Structure 1
Amino acid sequence: MSMSFLLTTLAVVATPGTGVLYTLTAALSHGRRASVVAALGCTLGIVPHLVASVTGLAALLRTSPVAYDVVKYLGVGYLLYMAWATLRDKEALAVETGTEPRPTVQVIASGVLVNVLNPKLTMFFVAFLPQFVPAGESGSLPAMLRLSAVFMALTFVVFAAYGMCAAAVRDHVLSRPRVMTGLRRVFAVGFVGLGVRLAVA
């Protein structure tokens, strides 16, 4: 495994995007455990893109503008929904005491959706990953799976680190009402911005 693959993958994963923003939201909303679960959900959301790449569906998305646009605009719609939900739910960013945590399955499902509806990941597996896989050789599929596993592992570690950092300052930040209101707006604007960027890409 080349150092260039590791460095490029780390740069791609660490660049804030929908998954990072979702993990930060989970961390500030529900604490450390929720941030790790959210990171896991975002990581699992990579699996469909990997499967699409292996089975050739990614090539269809790449060559069919209609198929690509369907996935893209579903992603845009979901990001706009998350922006609306963040603004609507005034309890979303609050320090909770004595309440049941958000169900693990729900946190994971939302994290999976965040990345499943992101066609940029499919393009990553089509355009970037094959550069490090020996074409036409018998070991190309195992090599792709190994590199994909590394990509997923780095995704989980980096996202969980983001979440842990946010959770560490949760009580400080969220005990101030004005800060909570500002955070809701910042996250909502962030989701809208990512949706717009995806729509015009």
Structure 2
Amino acid sequence: MENIIAFVFAATLLTLTPGLDTALVLRTASIEGPGQAVKAALGINVGCFLWGAAVAFGLGAIIAVSEFAYSVLKYCGAAYLCWLGLNMLLSPRCGIGPAGAHPIKRENWFLKGVLGNALNPKVGVFYASFLPQFIPQGSSLIVWTFGLVAIHVVIGSAWSLTLIGATRPLDRFLRNERVVQWMNRTTGLVFLLFAARLAYSKR
């Protein structure tokens, strides 16, 4: 129980720290609506479980110790974030719904959430180095790893729903064409900055 309480505290601090996941959920909730934002959040959660599985079955350790594996995943993740960011910067949505200047393009935000997490090696390194600290000696690595990831996912889901709910009172304001374009371009720039940070980052 002491280990779980300590992990909940640490995972909550990690979740509340602004990052790529927060930017993705906020942007999707504001422009695409709460339904798409929930899908993005679910995708992020699946990405967490994928990394949890990698840690539980030893793949996370390979990412943590292999410079080549880390670099390959790092540059793939940076390229993906660049692609997302450039799309938002160069082809921003002009509105929400039929009133928008462009027709609604149904994008798979669930998949984008999954890829955003799965292609970020820092999540894998973090899980590989962080989770074992809270697993009691002699306990099942697989059971405890998935249990701790599930706790992290619950905390992350609560935070995502809070962010999504916070955008609802601003719904009318967020439907303004200039606001939508500004949010798209701002988020695109944020994604490009995250891509550069990831590409030039070290362990």
TM over 0.5: yes
Candidates 68, 92, 112, aligned match of 1:66:
68
Aligned partners of 1:28 and 1:94 also within 8 Å: no
Q: Which residue of 2 aligns with 1:8?
A: 10
Aligned partners of 1:13 and 1:158 also within 8 Å: yes
Aligned partners of 1:95 and 1:171 also within 8 Å: no
Match runs of 1:1-201 below 5 Å: 1-2=1-2, 3-91=5-93, 94-97=95-98, 102=106, 106-135=108-137, 137-175=138-176, 177-201=177-201
Cα distance between partner residues in 2 of 1:59 and 1:139: 17
1:151-171 Cα deviation digits (max 9, x unpaired): 111112212221222344232
The Cα shift of 1:173 comes to 2.7
Q: Which runs of 5+ in 2 are unaligned?
A: none
Percentage of matched positions with identical amino acids = 28
The Cα shift of 1:126 comes to 0.9
Q: Which runs of 5+ in 1 are unaligned?
A: none
The Cα shift of 1:184 comes to 2.2
Question: Which stretch of structure 1 is more off in the superposition, 64-73 or 121-130?
Answer: 121-130
Cα distance between partner residues in 1 of 2:180 and 2:117: 26
The Cα shift of 1:59 comes to 1.0
Aligned partners of 1:30 and 1:102 also within 8 Å: no
Cα distance between partner residues in 2 of 1:199 and 1:181: 27
Cα distance between partner residues in 1 of 2:98 and 2:178: 20
Aligned partners of 1:86 and 1:188 also within 8 Å: yes
Cα distance between partner residues in 2 of 1:41 and 1:23: 10
Cα distance between partner residues in 2 of 1:16 and 1:57: 27
1:6-27 Cα deviation digits (max 9, x unpaired): 1110111121211111111211
The Cα shift of 1:141 comes to 2.9
Question: If the length of structure 1 is used for normalisation, what is the TM-score?
Answer: 0.88
Aligned partners of 2:85 and 2:188 also within 8 Å: yes
